[in-house]
Amino acid sequence: MNPLATGDGIRNLEGHADFDVTWPWRRDEPLRRGATAVLRVKNEAPNLAYALPPLLRAVDEVLVVDNGSTDGTAVEAARVAAAEGHSAKLTVAHYPFDVARAGAEHRATPERSVHSLAYFYNWCFAQVSTRYSWKWDGDMVLTREGELSMRSLSWQVGSSQTVVRLPRHSLYVESPQRAYLDLGLRNAEEWGFPIGPDFVYTKAPEWEIRTTPETYRQVELPQGLCVELKWLDGDEFAHWSDPESFATSLRNHRKRREWEVFHALRDGRVPTGVVQIDAPAGVHVVDHVTHEWMPRAPRPFKVDDPRHRRPA
């Protein structure tokens, strides 16, 4: 068990008692069966119209933690949930402290500070009242197949001790009609976790990391179920304090690939492994990719990552 998980929770160094972490399993009321998706968001309003609808349909509850957005993210989350008829599934919480960006700022921030990534994540997941949780980003969008898979999993993992890995694919959006899907990177991180003392966040060299005991069963979902939106006219690396370090850090292969693909596409070059996708007239390319293109792609969904090629 992670030492942070002992006791009733964590008191932050700054003395903000209202934002101390109280572990859900130490509260008076027992955790409910079910699964909650937890989104930690800042200025993600443009993504929520794509990310929230399939997620709201797939899981029991959705918790959106707004970290000081200035673009109406919280209002947009409520609007989307209402439009989908799932307002009862959505909870919006607010975390008012600046959180260290990944990389150098994170390394310089004490783990128990309200500004720490690890502390922020622990506080967010401490708001969960179900036995299972999904770590979700505001720019992650399920395909139709992904939605069905998560809906099926949500009731199965709602009372189990299983960790779920979910592959996701970067989708670089150039315009409402054109995007580029990166099929040259295999990326299957741990996204589903039970709520309990064996699964808390701690400080790692570049970012936060959730502890995962080796004794727990792990399940990896198939490729082709989820995309991660990256807008070519935006700043996709604002949450990093030193993105130039991607070029030299052995821990940042994924971010290095994203950095290279993003800037190549901005320069008009399509890297190896990246597929251009054009949507039909009147259909946004994100909807086209997640509703039509990916579900209709041959199975098994092929991702050609050089690091995972079998020797000839």
The predicted pLDDT at position 37 comes to: 97
Question: What pLDDT does 238 receive?
Answer: 74
Report the share of the chain in percent with pLDDT over 90. 75
Instruction: Output 204 or 280, whichever has higher pLDDT.
Output: 280
Write out pLDDT tens, residues 81-91. Answer: 999 999 999 99
Does the pLDDT of residue 246 top 70, yes or no?
Answer: no
Q: What is the pLDDT of residues 21-76, one digit of tens each?
A: 999 999 999 999 999 999 999 999 999 999 999 999 999 999 999 999 999 999 99
Mean pLDDT along residues 74-103: 97
More confident residue, 244 or 221: 221
pLDDT tens, position by position, 157-190: 766 789 999 999 999 999 999 999 999 999 888 9
Taking the C-alpha atoms of residue 58 and residue 49, their distance in angstroms, rounded to an integer, is 15
- Mean pLDDT over all residues of the chain? 92
Residue 290 to residues 76, 225, 227, 279, 294: CA-CA distances in angstroms? Answer: 21, 8, 8, 11, 6
pTM of the model: 0.93
Q: Residue 296: pLDDT band by 50, 70, 90 thresholds?
A: very high
Helices first, then strands: H and E counts in the chain: 8, 16
Q: Are 195 and 128 in contact (CB under 8 A)?
A: yes
Note the pLDDT of residue 245: 67
- Helix 73-83 with 45-58: angle, nearest 10 deg: 40
Q: What is the DSSP string of 99-139?
A: -PPBTHHHHTS-TTSTT-HHHHHHHHHTT--EEEEEEE-TT
pLDDT at position 163 = 93
Contacting residues for 125 by C-beta, under 8 A, at least 6 apart:
24, 38, 133, 195, 200, 201
Domains, in order of start, for the chain: 3-297 (3.90.550)
CA 241 to chain centre: 19
